Amino acid sequence: MHAALRHKEILEALQRSGRVEVPELAERLDTSAITVRRDLDHLASVGALRRVRGGAVTTALRGEGLPFDVRAADDAASKARMAATAAQLIADGEAVVVDSGTTGAAAAAALASRRIRAMPLSVQAIDALAGSPSVELILPGGSVRKPEGTLVGSVTERSIASLRFDTAVMTCCAASAETGVMAYDLGDAAVKQALRAASARTILLAEGAKFTRSALAVVCPLEEVDVLVTDSSAPTAVLERLRAAGVHVEVC
């Protein structure tokens, strides 16, 4: 198993139980105890867990997500397909604000060949667009929330509010028909609310797994987005409800 996938399995086990043991992980991951210890040491070095004798314990609060680097390796092909679908819905010449997260970074990469004006809201999305000869890059101010690379804070919110965008490409940490679009971080949620308010249209990118999760901060009801781009694992009942509410749904 690739290291990134082992790290994902370890952190998901920590989310479920709060503690993992080396022998159990070695058996579950079909690898050696030495490899598991190295994995735990690496994850501890980036602040994803705390090492204890014989294993590790979580450092995350309930409802927090996995680190960016771990999520980036998770279902990258599906995120790239969703990003490409969203990019096809955007016309040349549009002003676009691109949200943060691994899916936002994928969306930025998909838009890099387009002739648009774009404001990216993470250092990863900035990197994806900075070298494009066809994108007019607009940089927001604000603070970078590490290790996510997300731009947050009142300066970021004011930068967004001072402009008007044709389209917001928004991502989320969780979603449900009852609660709506959610984010783990309060600052991230405030930025998402600002980009929605500054845009004529909101495209939400949310893979099906996001509909199985919950998070602290509510951004908006699902019915208030204009377009949902998701994958085939999204719950059918939710998609039917959104279509009935007038949301354009793209499944890729």
- pLDDT tens-place string over residues 137-177: 999 999 999 878 999 999 999 999 999 999 999 999 999 99
pTM higher than 0.85, yes or no? no
Residues 6 or more apart from 60 whose CB is under 8 A from it? Answer: 14, 15, 48
Task: Report how far residue 196's alpha carbon sits from residue 20's, in angstroms, rounded to the nearest whole number.
Answer: 40
What is the average pLDDT score of the chain? 92
Domain map of the chain by residue range?
A: 3-60, 71-251
- Per DSSP, the residues of 78-93 read HHHHHHHHHHHTS-TT
- Per DSSP, the residues of 107-140 read HHHHHTTS--EEEE-BHHHHHHHHT-SS-EE---
Domain 71-251 falls under CATH 3.40.50.12280? no
Same fold, 3-60 and 71-251: no
* Architecture of the domain spanning 3-60: Orthogonal Bundle (1.10)
Question: pLDDT per residue over 46-75, tens digit each?
Answer: 777 889 999 999 876 555 566 666 565 556
